[in-house]
Amino acid sequence: MYIYRHRMVCSYLSIPSHKASLSLLSLFVMASSFFSKPEPNQVLFEERSCARKIILNRPHKLNSLTYEMISQILRNLEIYEKDPMVKLLILKVEKDFTKGLNSSVKIKDGQGKAFCAGGDIIGIFFSINEGHWSFGASFYKKQLTLDYMLATSRKPLVSLINGIVMGGGAGLSMNSMFRVVTENTVFAMPEAQIGLFPDVGASYFLSRLPGFFGEYLGLTGGRLNGNEMLACGLGTHFVLSKDLPLLEKALSEVASWDASTISRVINGFSSKISLKKDSAFRRLETINKCFSRKTVEEILSMLENEAANGDNKWIIRAISSMKSASPTSLKIFLKSIREGRMKELKDCLSQDYTIACHMIRRTFNHDLFEGTKAKLLEKDKQPKWEPSRLELVSDEFVDRYFEEVDDVDWEYLQLPIRPNLAQTWESKL
């Protein structure tokens, strides 16, 4: 059934099933979840000695997050934090020991291809189109609250990221203390392509990357593999997927919440990495030169100048991606990440909620709905952005997305008072 749906979706989008793009396919797979019957056991929980495992269990839907999954994880997280017997948490996926995913993603079935491809954007799309924008706000509030609770967990959190991780999946894992990546890991934040913006705290964790690499990832939706994630700091350890079962077993036997102890256990299974010659992270000097510019227009202009100087394939891809994205989304993200460098995670998540509420409420434009419809649900893939060009998106227009929503029932996101953000372990190169 999944194979049929995959082929049907690819046919509908006029793309060969074996060449379906990561971002569009991952997001479109979420669409089928809106029309599906209720699914049992979308997230599983296991106890192993002093460890507690949180297991995402929707592999046929790329483990896209539903409201029920988020609610269940929050409930169990509260229990684990109060239990003195629990020493560490493991976030993983069911059937995640896949073979040969790498950068050319070929999906024959849903099993084991994703850590988490994001939230159920299509479900929100249809609910809001029925006139219930508050459902999207409720879903988003719950999701951002979970991201914050995991990031500030009193118990060390180890995320085993073996497969596609995008959007909401990054929100779950990128602020955990330990982020184990593999040869199958593929990271991307392509939200601007559908009129959204890199959210779920991206303005916090992307702004902490070397130089202006975070701007590059958020504005272009560029993909990283596990090696690149470790090199830039999004990952803390690289472990071959074949060794994950042994690592998981070893972690389950750890009887301490001491971060150094846990790190030594993971180090025992870690492998050395090397970056490919064409890796974007090897272009950090050029990326810093271009993406340090003050405006999106200046960034694009710098990229176009660099493209004329040779070695330009990655630059051409970056330019093409930015030109096909929502101009409003690009400018919102640039302002967000620049401000995020000076903010705590709590404030970044609260700002994400405000911006997203404006988008799902269609306060100022319809880009999120236009992009979702044109790029995920229809064949043309040519959304009519409004405003349509970068120069038409004024600073004053962007600033309005960062202001409170004019609705009598709306409130700023109020996250609970928590201890300081959990220590994020250094990348182990």
- Among the listed residues 96, 183, 199, 367, the single catalytic one is 199
Looking at residue 36, the DSSP 8-state letter turns out to be S
Q: Write the CA distances from 6 to 95, 115, 210, 252, integer angstroms.
A: 19, 18, 37, 36
DSSP letter at 388 equals -
Residue type, 380: D
Task: Tell me the H-state helices in 46-167.
Answer: 67-82, 121-129, 133-151
Residues paired with residue 225 on neighbouring β-strands, in sequence order: 186
Structure tokens at 122: 């299509």
User: Whole-angstrom Cα distance, residue 330 to residue 221?
Assistant: 11
Q: Which of 110, 123, 168, 169 is catalytic?
A: 168
Residue 162 exposed, middle or buried by CB count within 10 Å (0-12, 13-18, 19+) = buried
Q: Are strands 178-181 and 186-188 parallel, antiparallel or unpaired?
A: unpaired
One-letter identity of residue 116: C
Query: Sheet of 114-116: strands edge to edge?
Result: 114-116, 164-166, 186-188, 224-225
Active site residue 119: yes
Residue of 120, 183, 191, 367 marked active site: 191
Q: Is 168 one of the annotated active-site residues of the chain?
A: yes
CB neighbour class for 265 (10 Å; exposed up to 12, middle 13-18, buried from 19): middle
Q: Nearest 5°: CA angle at 220, between 308 and 120? A: 160
CA separation for the pair 387, 38 (Å, rounded): 39
- 152, two tokens: 């500030």
User: Can 199 be counted among the known catalytic residues?
Assistant: yes
The C-alpha atoms of residue 141 and residue 147 are separated, in whole angstroms, by 10
Given the residues 118, 119, 123, 163, select the one marked as catalytic.
Answer: 119
Angle at the Cα of 170 (from 405 to 266), degrees rounded to 5?
Answer: 145
Radius of gyration for the chain, computed over Cα atoms and rounded to the nearest angstrom: 20
Which positions are annotated as active-site residues?
119, 168, 191, 199
